[in-house]
């Protein structure tokens, strides 16, 4: 009952915040700046003047795509250079040396693509300047780029017989200035009040209350506590579904996530914008039922996997039960035994909050963690893995989640149209061969990246050398890593030693292909739909806001995921679960 109550509170807060935020964002996307944000208009104009942007000029889909690619390429080069040169730059009080070339390459691609995969320990690798100017800035602009790539697709359903789908630079400025920056400022201030660190002081050395011993049996009397400008980066890493932690253990670290209230706000922020964009979509196309339909489909997909994770972790490990270890909650004892599988989890949050975070961070393209997924039970690890493999469309990344789901909508209405012998259409636009080809590329390329990358790593000496466990669990570590990179998530099973030239290169390439081989087909679909006429609804038009279509859409998503990944999952978490229960 306690777990159910926590899940219910989480979703109540999510819906209560997502609906008004979605409608606010729709106004920003349409250029209707609310009165309380009009003080930003002069600053917006100054940015356009400095950058030479004509806000009245719109682009076709190719110009929009080229602008996005050039902007991300510039971001990649900047992040790479800052890492390699950080020992010569200011704001480096701990005298961090240059990051290795392969790690710099991996991290630069990771943050440019909004994946934020981390093969390094932030507090022991990156200077304050690199954390802020490289990683922090990319947290904003990569999230804004994802949202910007969604807007042409929404506009394409509204506009007719035109080649223009918006201006990438204007969209980027408005998303950053009116949505991401204000929300991040508010969240950062609240997190700071809860104890998340925000300082330019060097790491602090403190005396231990009790002397310890190191591996050489020498006494240890003091500890170095890493600090830095963390709160400002934590806020945007959650809101922008970035996930890259300031500290190595991410949001399990008490300086990133110090209190239950901070934990609730951070986990809520992971899904907030992704969920709100469904309602932005409904508002912008003048049919709010469509937004609710997409939100409902995402929720129907999310709840079962969330509950699978909660139930599996609360059930614990049968092998430990046979040894007499308590697996159920014991509230009468002085120790207040919580029961279940608490390995790899913060006792401050327990199983429910750890499972909610694990499901939310993998449903969204976030990747931050407050527990170690590698320590989950096999089915508890299966749930977040599948949520990634579905394509990060269950709320998903900011922008990328909704346009990924709309690719599945296109496939679903195409199949439904063929079933009834009618030309498929969605929101008054015909769905024809070109749209299906682009949607197929966007859906299948990440699947191919995941499976091919996993296969190469599983049979290569360098790939196998990185796993911490043999057998099924070791395979799960590799599969999870490529699922995370191939779907721009960024979380890890944590049992894989991924900071090697092999994994830094392979995962970097996976992140590159997965991001742009989806974004560009989406923009191509937007360009194609924008040129088409609007078809008036008739008696034969398939309603796409009904429970029947929601069920059909959910089935389409599950079938694609099942057909693609069930064989690989059978070699990893599924067989590991059977081994655990002695089947």
State yes or no: pLDDT of 130 exceeds 70. Answer: yes
Q: How confident is the model at residue 337 (pLDDT cuts 50, 70, 90)?
A: low
Query: What does the pLDDT average to over 190-208?
Result: 92
Tokens of 372: 């170690």
Q: Are strands 219-225 and 425-426 parallel, antiparallel or unpaired?
A: unpaired
Q: What is the pLDDT of residue 583?
A: 63
pLDDT at 68: 96
Per-residue pLDDT band at 334 (split at 50, 70, 90) = very low
CA torsion sign for 465, 468, 470, 471 is negative
Q: What mean pLDDT is predicted for residues 205-229? A: 87
What's the pLDDT at 223? 87
Which residues fall within 8 angstroms of residue 356, CB to CB, at 6 or more apart? Answer: 6, 7, 10, 267, 306, 310
pLDDT at 490 over 70: yes
Greater pLDDT, 514 or 28: 28
The C-alpha atoms of residue 278 and residue 354 are separated, in whole angstroms, by: 26
pLDDT in tens, 377-420: 999 999 999 999 998 899 999 999 999 999 999 999 999 988 87
The model's pLDDT over 502-555, given as tens digits with 9 standing for 90+, comes to 999 999 999 998 889 899 999 999 999 999 999 887 777 889 999 999 999 999
Distance CA 360, CA 269 (A): 10
Tokens of 354: 């750890």
pLDDT band at residue 139 using 50, 70 and 90 as cut-offs: very high
For residue 480, the model assigns a pLDDT of 94
Name the strand (E) or helix (H) holding 425: strand 425-426
Looking at residue 162, its pLDDT comes to: 92
**What local confidence, expressed as pLDDT, does residue 459 receive?**
93
- Lowest-confidence pick of 81-90, 220-229, 268-277: 220-229
- Confidence band (pLDDT; 50, 70, 90) for 3? confident
Q: Which long-range contacts link 9-16 to residues 24+ away (Cβ below 8 Å)? A: 10/264, 10/267, 10/268, 10/356, 11/299, 13/264, 13/268, 14/268, 14/271, 14/272, 14/275, 15/275
Mean local confidence (pLDDT), 481-491: 92
Amino acid 323: pLDDT: 72
CA–CA distance, 374 with 354 (Å, rounded to integer): 13
Q: What pLDDT, in 10s, does the model give residues 233-262?
A: 999 999 999 988 899 889 999 999 999 999
* 431 neighbors 470 (Cβ within 8 angstroms): no
* Confidence at 557, pLDDT banded by 50, 70, 90: very high
Percent of the chain with pLDDT over 90: 73
Radius of gyration from C-alpha coordinates of the chain? 24
Q: Is the pLDDT of residue 331 over 70?
A: no
For 422-453, b/e burial (b = at least 16 CB within 10 A) is eebbbbbbbbeeebbebbebbbebbbebbbeb
- Which is it for the CA torsion 46, 52, 56, 60, positive or negative? negative
Residue from 166, 222, 182, 162 nearest 25 by CA: 182
Nearest to 386 by CA among 454, 480, 321: 480
User: Residue 4 contacts by C-beta under 8 Å, 6 or more apart in sequence?
Assistant: none
Mean pLDDT calculated for residue range 438-449? 94
Q: What is the mean pLDDT of residues 571-582?
A: 90
For residue 333, the model assigns a pLDDT of 47
Question: What mean pLDDT comes out for the span 86-102?
Answer: 93
Answer for the pair 203, 220: CB distance below 8 angstroms, yes or no: no
Query: Would the pLDDT of 311 be above 80?
Result: yes
Checking if the pLDDT of 204 tops 50, the result is yes
What pLDDT shows up at residue 520?
95
Report the alpha-carbon distance of residue 325 to residue 338 in Å, rounded: 12
């Amino acid at each position: 009952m306690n777990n159910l109550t926590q899940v219910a509170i989480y979703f109540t807060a999510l819906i209560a915040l997502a609906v008004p935020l979605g409608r606010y964002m729709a106004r920003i996307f349409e250029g209707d700046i609310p009165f309380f944000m009009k003080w930003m208009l002069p600053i917006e104009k100054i940015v356009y003047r400095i950058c030479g942007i004509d806000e009245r000029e719109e682009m076709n889909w190719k110009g929009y795509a080229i602008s996005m690619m050039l902007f991300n390429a510039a971001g990649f080069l900047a992040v790479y250079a800052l890492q390699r040169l950080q020992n010569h730059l200011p704001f480096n009080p701990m005298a961090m040396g240059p990051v290795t070339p392969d790690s710099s390459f991996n991290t630069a691609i990771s943050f440019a693509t909004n994946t934020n995969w981390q093969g390094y320990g932030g507090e022991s690798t990156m200077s304050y300047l690199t954390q802020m100017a490289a990683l922090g800035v990319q947290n904003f602009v990569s999230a804004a780029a994802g949202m910007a790539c969604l807007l042409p697709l929404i506009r394409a359903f509204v506009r007719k017989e035109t080649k223009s789908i918006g201006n990438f630079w204007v969209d980027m400025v408005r998303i950053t200035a009116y949505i991401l920056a204000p929300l991040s400022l508010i969240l950062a201030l609240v997190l700071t009040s809860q104890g998340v660190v925000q300082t330019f002081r060097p790491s602090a050395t403190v005396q231990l209350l009790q002397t310890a011993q190191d591996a050489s049996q020498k006494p240890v009397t003091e500890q170095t506590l890493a600090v830095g400008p963390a709160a400002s980066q934590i806020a945007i890493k959650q809101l922008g579904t970035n996930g890259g932690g300031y500290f190595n253990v991410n949001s399990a670290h008490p300086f990133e996530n110090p209190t239950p209230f901070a934990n609730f706000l951070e986990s809520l922020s992971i899904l907030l914008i992704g969920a709100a964009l469904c309602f932005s979509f409904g508002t912008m196309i003048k049919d709010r039922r469509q937004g609710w339909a997409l939100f409902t489909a995402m929720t129907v997909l999310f709840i079962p996997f969330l509950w699978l994770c909660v139930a599996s972790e609360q059930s614990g490990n049968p092998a430990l039960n046979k040894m007499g270890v308590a697996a159920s909650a014991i509230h009468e004892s002085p120790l207040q035994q919580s029961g279940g599988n608490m390995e790899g989890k913060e006792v401050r949050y327990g199983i429910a909050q750890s499972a909610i975070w694990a499901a939310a961070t993998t449903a969204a393209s976030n990747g931050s963690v407050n527990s170690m997924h590698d320590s989950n039970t096999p089915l508890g690890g299966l749930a977040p893995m599948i949520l990634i493999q579905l394509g990060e469309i269950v709320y998903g990344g900011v922008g990328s989640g909704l346009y990924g789901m709309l690719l599945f909508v296109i496939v679903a209405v195409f199949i439904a149209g063929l079933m009834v012998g009618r030309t498929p259409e969605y929101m008054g636009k015909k769905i024809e061969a070109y749209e299906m080809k682009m949607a197929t590329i966007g859906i299948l390329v990440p699947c191919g990246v995941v499976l091919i990358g996993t296969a190469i790593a599983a049979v290569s000496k360098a790939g196998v050398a990185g796993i911490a466990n043999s057998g099924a669990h070791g395979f799960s570590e590799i599969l999870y890593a490529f699922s995370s990179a191939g779907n721009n998530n960024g979380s890890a099973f944590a049992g894989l030693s991924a900071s090697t030239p092999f994994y830094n290169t392979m995962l970097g390439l996976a992140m590159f292909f997965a991001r742009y081989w989806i974004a560009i087909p989406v923009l191509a679909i937007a360009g194609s739909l924008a040129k088409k006429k609007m078809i008036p609804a008739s008696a034969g038009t398939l309603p796409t806001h009904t429970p029947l279509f929601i069920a059909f859409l959910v089935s389409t998503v599950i079938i694609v995921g099942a057909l693609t990944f069930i064989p690989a999952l059978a070699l990893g978490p599924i067989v590991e679960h059977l081994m655990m229960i002695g089947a």
